[in-house]
């Protein structure tokens, strides 16, 4: 689907809704990743709050650190590769509220992008990477859910399918809403959805700068 400049926002919505099942965010990426999760770590280094590890989601801890260290003006993501979208959005809101900058060292993968996008000024060390991942449930995982009847926690199989459908829409909309609010070009959002649905998409620095993902 091609989008005219004046129709980009509506075109985004059409793509998201038309492909809502195809573009399911990583609700349960921990089941599909082969790398082990490492506990999140927080270190205050001068004016930086440095976050590292996997499954970052301790919103209360981050809020406490920010409230008790008024000198912090930047959040650094140093090798972050996991975390839930809901937590990522809440942490992003904290970063926005505290008017902080964000920075990437080494890599920022998966739902790390939500936290990173909260920054006023968003930068990335040379040699680092920002990976966007929107791959859906693996076939083997879905088969396991059906075979083991894990879906029964939500009721019937039909109710589970409806839940997946609704959640997919909500999470995609949350994704493009945040990026639009932070000044990212709609054309980049569309491209990220299309490319990251197949595999980890790691855009080059030039593209991130052009799209306003990186601000400088």
Same domain, 155 and 195: yes
**pLDDT digits 0-9 by tens, 2-61:** 444 434 444 444 444 444 434 333 333 333 333 444 557 899 999 999 999 877 778 999
Domain final residue pick, 133, 159, 193: 133
pTM: 0.75
Structure tokens at 88: 């990522």
Domain final residue pick, 86, 115, 133: 133
Same domain, 123 and 147: no
Mean pLDDT, each 10-residue run in order, the chain (216 residues): 44 43 36 47 94 84 95 95 78 96 94 93 97 72 81 84 79 89 95 82 96 96
Domain total for the chain?
A: 2
CATH number of the CATH domain containing 118: 3.90.226.10
Alpha helices in 40-185 (DSSP H): 59-68, 85-97, 112-116, 139-148, 157-181
Residue listed under structure tokens 């991130």: 208
Same domain, 42 and 116: yes
- Residue 41 region by backbone torsions, left for phi larger than 0, else alpha for psi between -120 and 50, else beta: beta
Same domain, 101 and 117: yes
Residue listed under structure tokens 């809403």: 177
CA separation (Å) from 65 to 50, 62, 201?
Answer: 11, 5, 32
Domain final residue pick, 109, 133, 157: 133
Range of the domain at 129: 29-133
Structure tokens at 24: 């399911």
Does 98 fall in a domain? yes
42 sits in which H/E element: strand 41-45
pLDDT value of position 154: 80
Same domain, 45 and 67: yes
């Amino acid at each position: 689907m091609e989008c005219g400049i004046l129709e980009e926002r509506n075109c985004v919505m059409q793509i998201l809704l038309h492909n809502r099942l195809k573009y399911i965010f990583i609700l349960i990426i921990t089941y599909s990743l082969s790398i082990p999760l490492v506990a999140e770590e927080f270190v205050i280094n001068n004016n930086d709050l440095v976050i590292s590890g996997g499954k970052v989601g301790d919103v209360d801890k981050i809020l406490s650190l920010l409230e008790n260290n008024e000198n912090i003006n930047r959040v650094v993501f140093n090798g972050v590769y996991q975390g839930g979208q809901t937590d990522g959005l809440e942490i992003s809101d904290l970063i926005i509220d505290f008017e902080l900058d964000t920075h990437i060292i080494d890599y920022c993968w998966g739902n790390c992008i939500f936290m990173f996008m909260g920054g006023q000024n968003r930068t990335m060390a040379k040699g680092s990477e920002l990976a966007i991942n929107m791959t859906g449930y693996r076939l083997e995982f879905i088969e396991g859910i059906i075979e083991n009847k894990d879906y029964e926690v939500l009721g019937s199989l039909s109710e589970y399918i409806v839940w997946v459908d609704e959640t997919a829409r909500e999470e995609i909309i949350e994704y493009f809403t945040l990026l639009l609010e932070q000044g990212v070009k709609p054309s980049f959002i569309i491209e990220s959805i299309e490319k990251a649905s197949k595999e980890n998409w790691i855009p080059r620095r030039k593209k991130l700068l052009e799209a306003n993902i990186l601000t400088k």
